[in-house]
Structure 1
Amino acid sequence: MTAPAAAPVRPSPVRYLVLVGAVMIQLILGTVYGYSIFWAPLQAAVYPPILTQAEADARVAAGEAVTDFTVVADAAAARVLKDQRQGYLKYAFSICILSFALVMVVAGRVQDVLGPRIPALIGGVLMALGFFLAGVMNHRVVLLVCHAGLCALVALLLISISTLFRKRLDPHGAENGLSVSLAVAVLVTVAGVLVGEQYVGRLAEFDKVALLWGTIGFLAGAGIGFAYVCPIAALVKWFPTAKGLVSGIAVAGFGFGAYIIKDPTVGAPPFFKAHGITSFFLVHALVCLVVVSLGALLLRNPPGTPPKFATESSWQETLTRPAFYTLWLMFFSGALAGLMVISIIAEFAKEQLVAAAGGAALTSDQLAALAAKGAAAVGWLAIFNAVGRVFWGLVSDRVGRTITFVVMFLFQAGMMFMLARMNTELSLAVAASIVGFNFGGNFALFPSATADLFGAKNLGANYGWVFTSYGIAGVMGVAAGNTAKIMTGSYTAAFQLAAGLCVLSAVLAIGLAIAHRKARPA
């Protein structure tokens, strides 16, 4: 699969401003990979503190109340409850990734029709709105507003379904259809108000968890979906002979955004300690709105006719071609491996270090020190995630997409096969770096390969459909890791599954190149 020749775009200083705007946007969007640092402070903000029965008895004996605490039998039960609570909160990340991928299908089409600026602005507003609402989640009026928004979405969905069936059954019944739509809207509104008045704000922590799913989960994911594809689609048109490199540079910002937000010195953690998680969400909302909007204003398509590729395919045509489904499965495999490790790397590294150091014999201070060492792997993964995006993009422009895909997937497969054996600070840092390095390459190679196979004219919509594999991989990767851990006590089975899929994708890349070469006109 080599890049077809493209008509050169006359060099212009404007294209470098577009590149700057792209990196600005991606830096903010990349904070989604920093969600793992939210769970501990959010647990403290959403749930009551946990006490063991012995601790509760001691408080009662000292004359202190325990009504604002959750009391459990012992330390083991406390750990289980803590994991359950964080598990509920972590669904916000899965919802965000899924929303990101699914909304990109719509955003890609909007980008192809209206250009990159408008959908990027929409993305910035949605992401800012999600974090703003999460920042004021302690106010009941916010819960009611979000509940009303959910009711409006349900009403819109039901009206859309009823309209679809009405047109099929009675194409000429416009007046009846309007009455049905109004009836549905009124019914959902009345039901929503009654249910909201009865329950919203009275379900303790469930209200806040559900709000977080809808705000930093669905809304923020939708914002990322709208803004993500715009810089890539614009840059491919401005730099048609270096698609891999510029895609890599743009999405490297995504990786560095994750590193910055996690940094213990200048990132979010010191802000949490000083001001709290909800205050951080409010500040982050403002940053999202300002920086993404400024970046969006720098985006534009090249003047005149966009560069022509060997094939120009609409998204409808793309979905009928076997090459799309091959590319989709390849992206799914690469994303599953990376997202699985991203979701567990801090916990996994800590467990490996603790087991190697003696486990139960360690003191609490020793455990804390090992946890800090394990957390360093998160930073290495984020750094090399960004570096890999530029490196693999540049290599693919030099040696071709197919060779790059094969090497990258086999490299990732080898690392996933060995990952469960890593149990030192150095080996875990190297392993996390390699996984992040190869994972980052997906985001430079797949938009470029999509343009190679289906053209640049409709890249936004076409890549949006390819990117749905990322959303599904986010859910499946987290689920596979959790299932393996619960059933076997280890992540080894999940790592081996991811490794096998990466080997399969290397084979698929070769097959895709052969099929593409045969299908290309002489």
Structure 2
Amino acid sequence: MPDKSLPNRWLIAVAAVIMQICLGAVYGWSVFVKPLVGGEHWTLTEVSLNFTIALAFLGVGTVIGGLWLDRVGPRMVATVAGVLYGIGYIVASIGVKNHSLTVLYIGYGVLSGVGMGMGYICPVATIAKWFPDLRGLMTGVAVAGYGAGALIMSPIAAKLIVSRGIPYTFLGMGIVYGVLVILTAQAYENPPEGWRPVGWQPTSAVSKSATTETFTVAEAMRTWQFWLLFAMLFLNTSAGIMIISQASPMAQQIVGLTAISAAGIVGLISIFNAAGRVFWAWMSDLIGRGTVYFLLFAIQAVIFFALPHLTTRALFATAVAIVGLCYGGGFGTMPSFTADFFGAKFMGGIYGWILLAWGAAAIPSPLMIAHIRQTTGQYRQAIYVIGIVMVVSLVLPILARKRPRKGAVVPINQSRAA
């Protein structure tokens, strides 16, 4: 089919970025932490659990959305995602207004979490199919919007919380974000199977190393490389989420910033989170996906051991910005890593399962740092633990140099017979 009969892939990319900006508002959650703890008399751990629930159900949403996307295409899935996402914020508004922590968990945590996951997987899988010539860069651009979501939301939310209150802030975000996600979803469409840009052939070492085979979801999950990618995303995400979930109160304690100024730190992390998704994804096209992940773990190991001693605003901001850069880099690189290993045809379902690591990673580290801060009054011990984890993680990207082959996958009937 000639290219002129197909939708403009660059317009699909623009829609993907706008949708991801809306979905990425979750990264600004820390601006709600102190107002909720102070205004509702909930504990820091209880408030932080809402963020954990949202990201855990985000992982559930990516699995549901990814598998459904492979059957019906991205438009329907993304539209339903927008409905769930917007309603979740509105329910959260009702919960806070009525001082119900449970309703807040159901709205923001469960409904918006599932909506985020279903929405997130759609542009990622779609862009990977439309841009085989720029797979790393363009999937990085697509998810960069998600990383930038807090940059837009955090300062607006911080001011609205002060002037109008938390319920009004949640309500407004639910209406605006829900409408925008539903509208941008209408631009999505998959290319014909096997489509390539006119005249393009893989020439770089990275593109040549990508598989020419197509793995189904079941076949991919029976390879050890699938679980290796799962573990790499889990560990990189755990490190970044720990800082993101407590960025505002951490900046207020360690550096002595005001709540409004600390919201600026959240925005800074958002900028570098977004930039890291593009930068490291682009670098992965040049030096390889595994090499990028090795650098992400190594850089963060150094930062985490230094972070508790950085008590000036400039040094603290630089450190958390680098963490944001590496955190975003993990998400920017993993979609192309997945497509290179298992092919793009069933990437929605395969990457949806890998993204379950994102939701799983939201459970241990944010709760650990919140609990340690609540019981000791300090963040230091939790930060050191993650630093040690990053050092141990360095071995995983080295193992990821071996690409899976379908001939090595044991069919289900054979594995059962054995």
Q: TM-score w.r.t. structure 1 length?
A: 0.71
Determine helix, strand or coil for the equivalent of 2:46: helix
Residue among 94, 107, 110 paired with 2:68: 110
Counterpart of 2:363? 475
One-letter code of the match for 1:345?
A
1:497 has 2:389 as partner: no
Partners of 2:179 and 2:298 in 1: how far apart? 41
Q: Residue 18 in 1 paired to residue 12 in 2?
A: yes
* Contact 1:104–1:464 (CA under 8 A) maintained in structure 2: yes
| Letter of the 2:309 counterpart | R
Contact 1:103-1:226 within 8 A present in 2 as well: yes
* 8 A contact 1:232–1:447 mirrored in 2: yes
| Alignment-derived partner of residue 333 in structure 1 | 235
| 1:286 match | 175
Instruction: After TM superposition, give the deviation of residue 44 of structure 1 in Å.
Output: 6.3
Asked if the contact 2:136–2:281 (Cα under 8 Å) also holds between the matched residues in 1, the reply is yes
Q: Who is 1:440 aligned against?
A: 328
Deviates more, 1:87-96 or 1:221-230: 87-96
* Partner of residue 221, structure 2: 319
1: CA distance, partners of 2:373 / 2:296 = 27
Shift of 1:510: 1.1
- Please report how far the alpha carbon of residue 273 of structure 1 lies from its aligned counterpart in structure 2 after TM superposition: 3.0
Mapped to 2, the partners of 1:377 and 1:138 lie a distance apart of 25
**Structure 1 residue 89: deviation in Å?**
2.6
SS at match of 1:393: helix
Name the stretch that deviates more: 403-412 or 34-43.
34-43
Tell me how far 1:281 sits from its aligned partner.
Answer: 2.1
Q: What is the CA distance between 1:316 and its match in structure 2?
A: 1.3
- What fraction of aligned residue pairs are identical, expressed as a percent? 34
Query: 1:87/1:489 Cα in 2 relative to 1: closer, same or farther (>3 Å)?
Result: closer
Partner deviation per Cα, 1:366-394 (whole Å, 9 max, x = no partner): xxx55555443222111111111110011
**Aligned 8 A contact 1:92 1:212 in 2:** yes
What's the RMSD between the two structures over aligned residues?
2.5
* Residue in structure 2 matched with residue 151 of structure 1 by the alignment: none
| Residues in 2 aligned to 1:30 and 1:281: alpha-carbon distance in whole angstroms | 14
Which residue in the other structure is 1:210 paired with? 102
3-state DSSP of counterpart to 1:312 = coil
Q: 2:304 aligns with which of 403, 416, 420?
A: 416
Distance 1:42 1:238, change over 3 A: same
CA contact under 8 A between 1:349 and 1:375: conserved in structure 2?
no
Correspondence for 2:253: 351
CA-CA distance at 1:491 after TM superposition: 2.6
Out of 26-35 and 408-417, give the one that drifted further.
Answer: 408-417
Query: Cα gap change, 1:418/1:44 in structure 2, threshold over 3 Å: closer, same or farther?
Result: closer
Q: Which residue of 1 aligns with 2:284?
A: 396
- The Cα shift of 1:272 comes to 2.5
Which whole-Å CA distance do the structure 1 matches of 2:259 and 2:178 have between them? 34
Residues 196-345 of structure 1: pairs in structure 2 closer than 5 A: 205=99, 208-263=100-155, 267-305=156-194, 309-345=211-247
Amino acid of the structure 1 residue aligned with 2:149: G
> 1:457-506: CA deviations, max 9, x gaps?
11111111111111111111112213443565533332232223323333
CA distance in 1, matches of 2:340, 2:224: 15
Matched-pair contact (CA < 8 Å) for 1:101–1:470: yes
Contact 2:158 2:260 in 1 (8 A): no
Gaps in structure 1 of 5+ consecutive residues: 1-8, 48-81, 140-203, 355-368
Q: What is the CA deviation profile of residues 203-223 of structure 1, one whole-angstrom value per residue up to 9, with x for unaligned ones?
A: x84xx1100000011000010
- SS of 1:516's equivalent in the other structure is coil
TM-score, normalised relative to structure 2: 0.87
Distance 1:426 1:91, change over 3 A: same
The answer to whether structure 1 residue 95 and structure 2 residue 53 are counterparts is yes
CA contact (8 A) 1:310 1:455 kept: yes
Cα distance in 1 for residues equivalent to 2:103 and 2:344: 38
How many correspondences in the alignment? 394
Listed one character per residue, the Cα deviations across residues 114-136 of structure 1 (whole Å, up to 9, x for unaligned) are 11111100100001111122333
Alpha-carbon distance between aligned partners in 2 of 1:419 and 1:519, rounded to the nearest angstrom:
44
User: 8 Å contact 1:377–1:428 — kept in the other structure?
Assistant: no
Name the CA shift for 1:269/1:302 in 2 (closer, same or farther; >3 Å). same
What is the rounded CA distance, in whole Å, between the counterparts of 1:436 and 1:114 in structure 2? 34
How far, CA to CA, are the matches of 1:309 and 1:44 in structure 2? Answer: 53
What letter matches 1:270 in structure 2? Answer: K
Q: Does the residue aligned with 1:136 lie in a helix, a strand or coil?
A: helix
Work out the CA distance in 2 between the residues paired with 1:235 and 1:393: 13
Name the SS for the 2:133 alignment partner.
Answer: coil
Q: Secondary structure at the match of 1:311?
A: coil
In the alignment, is the contact (CA less than 8 A) between 2:86 and 2:112 conserved in 1?
A: yes
Letter in 1 for 2:398: I
Unaligned runs of 5+ in 2: 197-209, 409-418
Residue pair 1:326, 1:508 contacting (<8 A) in 2 also: yes
Q: Which residue does the alignment assign to 1:178? A: none
Runs of 4+ more than 6 Å apart: 517-521
Counterpart amino acid of residue 135 in structure 1: S
Cα deviation, residue 340, structure 1: 0.4
Following the alignment from structure 1 to structure 2, what is the Cα–Cα distance between the partners of residues 402 and 442?
11
Equivalent position SS for 2:247: helix
> Quick one: structure 1 residues 518 and 293, their matched pair in 2 at CA, closer, same or farther if it must change by over 3 Å?
closer
**Are the counterparts in 1 of residues 300 and 390 from structure 2 also a CA contact under 8 Å?**
yes
- Paired with 1:397 and 1:500, the residues of 2 have a C-alpha distance of 29
- In structure 2, the CA distance between the partners of 1:388 and 1:461, relative to structure 1 (3 Å rule), is same
From the superposition, tell whether residues 274 and 507 of structure 1 become closer, same or farther in structure 2 (CA, over 3 Å). Answer: same
